[in-house]
Amino acid sequence: MALPTEPGSVQEPFPISRVTDRYLIFDVNAIMHARSSHNITGVLTGTIPNLSQQNAFLGIPLQLMPEEARVLVEKGAAYIVDDVNIHDEGFMHMDREARLKFLQEMDEAAWQKSREAQRKAEERTKKALEQKGLEKKSETPESAGLTSDTGAANLFDSPCTPAPPLSRPEKKVDPHFITPTTSYPPLAQPPQTAQPLPVVPRQYPLFRYLHSKGYFMMPGLRFGCHYSAYPGDPLRFHSHFLATGMDWDEEFDWQQIIAGGRLGTRVKKAYLIGGEDPAKKGVEGKESVRVFSIEWAGM
Amino acid sequence: MKPPPRPSPLQSLVADPAQLSTSHLPSLQSLALQVHHNLQYQHSWSALRVHSHSPLTNELLPRPLISGLPTKRLYVHPDEQIELLKQADRRRKAEDKDGGGNNVLDIRTEPEREWLLPTRLGEEWTLHRLSDVFDTISLVPPSAEPEDSASDRPANPWRTTKRVVLATVSPDSTVVYYIVQDELVKPRQN
């Protein structure tokens, strides 16, 4: 079935689906686009429904942190879609013609797929036989004997032709059944409607600041912080910072800072704390977020 | 009855009324003295100085800060480290060519004066307070004496962000030191 978009041609803003307060991207091209153009990696969460522990290779959808969704929306690169509503309206009120048309398209695609699969299988057989030097003979005496004896070899053949001996019997093609994995199509691209901005935790200003500096953020749970910040794509770089966000007047204990600094130094990173100064918030040309990098002094 | 044990040198130092001024709370001053003592005798720092006023604005600091000179360089920025390694490699190659080289990578760094922020472990701080401390300090601490030899050296061009060595004193008088830098500074390759 057709992809919602062609590779490399993602139209901005692209939709982010909100399902039970989770922000998901279902379009693989939008996922690639978010990663390469907006430094947003998210986490792949798709798995096999009845084998959910098989999680070594997760696929789409990509789940975004609320911060990631918010940053994309604020940049104007994406918009939020209330997926439950869209599905309800789209599918419950789909007219009969559109439904039949879609089913027919599905059938068509299924047949095409199975014919393609069969053609490939035949090619493989032919190639293998050629490699072994065994050209497929049009008829062998043994099989001819078999057919005349029982007819069991022609189980899949059409019953009306009594096995013309010189042509290979054509196998019956079973259709592959396609389970549609996206809703667009059959639904048209969801419209942009006024949706509330994603609700973000209080460390969001730090996220926005680091993102604006070109860092990639991954969830920081593994290092006991809010985000681990990578200077480039996490597939190519080690992270530089273990970032923890705070309110400007939120009290912290030095014990926390020392623990973070020590852990960070241990894993060759710097511990980073930061937050937004409300006095500088919204002031033109001034960065309202201030951060401090912390490392062990080694003495 | 046994006489009470004599106070330790550290205790008599921080309790000495002659050491205290009226600018800050005595508890903060004795904290600064304790860190000063630790730096001087445990880490052999020199040219130590307790600051009560900001060198930038000459206003009273939120708490006394210390500046001093470590025995060797405390912090090398990773980019500076790469440069230093290149220089050392060039020197080694030049010496090898002359025939007198002992094939040792000799990295030359001079110690730099550092700011220190004395704190106690149990204190509650906020980003706001930390930010206020950074706003009052200069990039490099002023030297102890005007004709200090350290001030003759050219400023390190790699030192571009303010940094403070956080000295945290625990109740058992252990002092731990952490480098806190203003803004994003990538980690060292240690």
Q: Could you confirm whether A209 is annotated as catalytic?
A: no
- Please check whether residues B68 and B83 belong to one and the same domain: no
| Structure confidence by residue, pLDDT tens digits, A212-244 | 999 999 998 888 899 999 999 999 999 999 999
> In this structure, what token pair is assigned to residue B131?
């930010």
Domain annotation covers residue B128: yes
Is the pLDDT assigned to residue A6 strictly greater than 70?
A: no
More confident residue, A12 or A181: A12
Judge whether B166 and B117 are in contact, CB under 8 Å. yes
Interface contact A257-B74, CB threshold 8 A: no
Q: How confident is the model at residue A145 (pLDDT cuts 50, 70, 90)?
A: very low
Pick the residue from chain A with its C-alpha nearest to B44: A299
- Please check whether residues B105 and B115 belong to one and the same domain: no
- Please check whether residues A250 and A149 belong to one and the same domain: no
Interface contact B181-A268, CB threshold 8 A: no
Identify the segments of chain B with pLDDT beneath 70: 18-19, 100-101, 144-154, 190
- Please check whether residues A121 and A172 belong to one and the same domain: yes
Is the pLDDT assigned to residue A17 strictly greater than 60?
A: yes
Domain annotation covers residue A58: yes
Domain annotation covers residue B182: yes
- Please check whether residues A38 and A144 belong to one and the same domain: no
Neighbouring-strand partners of residue A78: A14
From chain B, the residues in CB contact with A225 under 8 A are: none
Interface contact B128-A277, CB threshold 8 A: yes
Size of interface A-B (CB pairs under 8 A): 105
- Please check whether residues A222 and A281 belong to one and the same domain: yes
Interface contact A297-B165, CB threshold 8 A: yes
Query: Could you tell me how far CA A193 lies from the centroid of its own chain?
Result: 24
Is the pLDDT assigned to residue A167 strictly greater than 70?
A: no
Judge whether A63 and A45 are in contact, CB under 8 Å. yes
Domain annotation covers residue B172: yes
More confident residue, B27 or A155: B27
- Please check whether residues B84 and B130 belong to one and the same domain: no
pLDDT of A151 reads: 46
d(CA B185, CA A295): 10
Q: How confident is the model at residue A34 (pLDDT cuts 50, 70, 90)?
A: very high
- Give the least confident one: A36-45, A189-198, A220-229, B171-180: A189-198
Domain annotation covers residue A116: yes
Distance to chain A for B74, nearest Cα, Å: 7
Q: How confident is the model at residue A155 (pLDDT cuts 50, 70, 90)?
A: low
- Please check whether residues A61 and A191 belong to one and the same domain: yes
Distances in Å between the Cα of B125 and the Cα atoms of A233, B46, B67 are: 34, 29, 21
Distance to chain A for B152, nearest Cα, Å: 26
From chain A, the residues in CB contact with B119 under 8 A are: 254
Host domain of residue A147: 95-183
- Please check whether residues A87 and A99 belong to one and the same domain: no
Domain annotation covers residue B18: no
- Cβ contacts of B128 within 8 Å, gap of 6 or more: A248, A249, A277
Is the pLDDT assigned to residue A12 strictly greater than 70?
A: yes
Token pair 């059959």: residue = A186
Domain annotation covers residue B19: no
The domain total for chain A is 3
Domain annotation covers residue B51: yes
pLDDT of A144 reads: 46
From chain A, the residues in CB contact with B182 under 8 A are: 290, 292
- Please check whether residues B172 and B145 belong to one and the same domain: yes
Pick the residue from chain A with its C-alpha nearest to B169: A254
Domain annotation covers residue A2: no
> Which is it for strands B163-169 and B114-120: parallel, antiparallel or unpaired?
parallel
Q: Of these residues, A126, A238, A280, A281, which one is catalytic?
A: A238
- Please check whether residues A277 and A142 belong to one and the same domain: no
* Averaged pLDDT for residues A170-186: 71
From chain A, the residues in CB contact with B35 under 8 A are: none
| Structure confidence by residue, pLDDT tens digits, A241-266 | 999 999 999 999 999 999 999 999 88
pLDDT of A147 reads: 45
> In this structure, what token pair is assigned to residue B54?
């900001």
CATH number of the domain bearing residue A223: 3.40.1350.10
From chain B, the residues in CB contact with A275 under 8 A are: 127
- Please check whether residues B47 and B1 belong to one and the same domain: yes
Host domain of residue B175: 1-13+24-74+111-190
Q: How confident is the model at residue A181 (pLDDT cuts 50, 70, 90)?
A: low
Distance to chain A for B117, nearest Cα, Å: 12
Judge whether A219 and A86 are in contact, CB under 8 Å. no
Pick the residue from chain B with its C-alpha nearest to A279: B128
Q: In a 10 Å sphere around its CB, with 0-12 CB exposed, 13-18 middle and 19+ buried, how is residue A289 labelled?
A: buried
Pick the residue from chain B with its C-alpha nearest to A238: B187
Q: CB contact, 8 Å: B185 with chain A?
A: yes
pLDDT of A296 reads: 92
From chain B, the residues in CB contact with A241 under 8 A are: 184, 187
- Please check whether residues B87 and B52 belong to one and the same domain: no
How many C-beta atoms surround the C-beta of residue B134 within 10 A? 19
- Cβ contacts of A108 within 8 Å, gap of 6 or more: none
Is the pLDDT assigned to residue A158 strictly greater than 90?
A: no
Domain annotation covers residue A290: yes
Q: Could you confirm whether A269 is annotated as catalytic?
A: yes
Q: Could you confirm whether A230 is annotated as catalytic?
A: yes
Interface contact A293-B185, CB threshold 8 A: yes
Long-range contacts of residues A233-240, Cβ cutoff 8 Å, at least 24 apart: A233/A35, A233/A41, A234/A41, A238/A268, A238/A269, A239/A269, A240/A215, A240/A269, A240/A270, A240/B186, A240/B187
- Please check whether residues B45 and B106 belong to one and the same domain: no
Q: Which residues of A touch B (CB under 8 A)?
A: 210, 213, 231, 240-241, 246-255, 257-258, 261, 264-265, 268-270, 272-275, 277, 290-299
Rg of chain A on CA atoms, in Å: 29
* Averaged pLDDT for residues A105-126: 90
- Please check whether residues B136 and B149 belong to one and the same domain: yes
- Please check whether residues B156 and B166 belong to one and the same domain: yes
- Please check whether residues A34 and A158 belong to one and the same domain: no
- Please check whether residues B153 and B183 belong to one and the same domain: yes
- Please check whether residues B104 and B119 belong to one and the same domain: no
- Please check whether residues B99 and B171 belong to one and the same domain: no
CATH number of the domain bearing residue A32: 3.40.1170.20
Measured at the CA of A95, the angle between CA A92 and CA A100, to 5 degrees, comes to 110
Is the pLDDT assigned to residue A203 strictly greater than 60?
A: yes
Is the pLDDT assigned to residue A163 strictly greater than 60?
A: no
Choosing from B54, B88, B110, the residue where a domain stops is B110
pLDDT of A160 reads: 52
Is the pLDDT assigned to residue A7 strictly greater than 90?
A: no
- Provide the H-helix boundaries in B23-104: 26-42, 78-98
| Facing B127 at nearest CB: one of A210, A240, A248 | A248
CATH number of the domain bearing residue B139: 3.40.1350.10
| Facing A291 at nearest CB: one of B166, B179, B183 | B183
d(CA A101, CA A229): 48
Q: Of these residues, A23, A230, A240, A271, which one is catalytic?
A: A230
Domain annotation covers residue A15: yes
- Please check whether residues A44 and A190 belong to one and the same domain: yes
- Please check whether residues A212 and A168 belong to one and the same domain: no
pLDDT of A1 reads: 33
pLDDT of A178 reads: 78
Domain annotation covers residue A4: no
Distance to chain A for B5, nearest Cα, Å: 31
Interface contact B126-A248, CB threshold 8 A: yes
Interface contact A299-B177, CB threshold 8 A: yes
CA nearest B29: which of B71, B74, B60? B60
Token pair 């360089």: residue = B73
- Please check whether residues A247 and A287 belong to one and the same domain: yes
Mutate to test the interface with B, among A244, A267, A281, A299 (most CBs of B within 10 A): A299
Domain annotation covers residue A293: yes
Domain annotation covers residue A212: yes
Interface contact A261-B188, CB threshold 8 A: no
d(CA A20, CA A33): 24
- Please check whether residues A73 and A191 belong to one and the same domain: yes
Is the pLDDT assigned to residue A80 strictly greater than 80?
A: yes
More confident residue, B48 or A286: B48
Whether a cis peptide bond, with omega within 30° of 0, leads into A13 is yes
From chain A, the residues in CB contact with B130 under 8 A are: 292
The domain total for chain B is 2
Domain annotation covers residue B46: yes
Domain annotation covers residue B176: yes
d(CA A117, CA B115): 72
